Structure 1
Amino acid sequence: MRGVLFAISGGFFLTLQSVANARISSSIGTWQAATLTQLTGFLVALVIMLLVRDRTYVHMRRVEPLYLSGGAFAAFILFSNMTAVHELGVTLTISLFLIAQLALALVIDWRGWFGMLRRDLNRTQLLGVVMMIVGILVLKG
């Protein structure tokens, strides 16, 4: 249940962040907004880590370099998201982002990439993705 609540709140925050970033980028530029957002996120995460007194940060040096790319991906995620919101609007942008995330997540599970447990891909999952695509086409109207 806790995971479901975090997933839902993450979706809410992603949408709010998309709108805020698009507004910021209109004023100062897309890469500038991405930089500001990354910096703000870093500071908030740092403060929370210090407040909860989680000392596991000493293990940060053990992180494989490949996985450090997650932070770099965030810059491109922000840029893509802000640009898409300006071009497509919030609803279509978030919808397409969700489909892209779900499709790649299915491939990662299916192939066992990044050390994930390999899972079989089934027709029901593929049908779900197709239904989401049809839903976006209806939504776009």
Structure 2
Amino acid sequence: MKGILFALLGGFFLTFQSVANATISNQIGSWQAATMTQLTGFVLAIFIVLVIRDRSYRQLPQVSPLYASGGMLAAIVLFSNMTAVHIMGVTLTIAIFLIAQLVLAIAIDGRGWFDMSQKRIGKTQIVGVLMMIAGVIILKM
């Protein structure tokens, strides 16, 4: 239940962030908005680490550079998201982002990439993604 709650919160906040970033990018530019978003997110994350007094950041040197570079990917995600919102609108952008995430997630789970445990991918997962794609096509009509 806790995982579902966090997933829902993440989805809601991603949508709010998409709208806010697209609006901000109209005023200051997309890469500038991505920079501002990354910076404010960094400040909040540091604040939370300090408040909860989590000292696990000391293990940072043990993190693979591949995984430590995840923040750089976030800048690309932000830029892509803002650009897509301007072109297609929020609903279609989020729908297609979700499909892209699911397709890659199925590949990662099915292959066990990035040190994730391998999961069996069945027909129901594939049908679910195909149904989402059909839903986007219906949304686009």
Would you call these one fold, judging by a TM-score over 0.5? yes
Aligned to 2:80: 80
Aligned to 2:14: 14
For residue 131 of structure 1, report the CA deviation from its aligned partner.
Answer: 0.3
Amino acid at match of 2:106: L
Count of residue pairs the alignment pairs up: 141
- CA distance in 2 between counterparts of 1:15 and 1:28 reads 20
For residue 69 of structure 1, report the CA deviation from its aligned partner.
Answer: 2.1
The RMSD of aligned alpha carbons is 0.6
Moved over 2 A (4+): none
- Matched ranges for 1:102-121 at <5 A: 102-121=102-121
TM-score with structure 2 length normalisation?
0.98
Aligned to 1:59: 59
For residue 120 of structure 1, report the CA deviation from its aligned partner.
Answer: 2.0
Which string of whole-angstrom CA distances, capped at 9 and with x for unpartnered residues, describes residues 70-106 of structure 1?
A: 1110000000000000000000000000000000000
For residue 33 of structure 1, report the CA deviation from its aligned partner.
Answer: 0.4
For residue 125 of structure 1, report the CA deviation from its aligned partner.
Answer: 0.8
Unmatched 5+ stretches in structure 1: none
State percent identity of aligned pairs. Answer: 62
Unmatched 5+ stretches in structure 2: none
Deviates more, 1:111-120 or 1:85-94: 111-120
TM-score with structure 1 length normalisation?
0.98
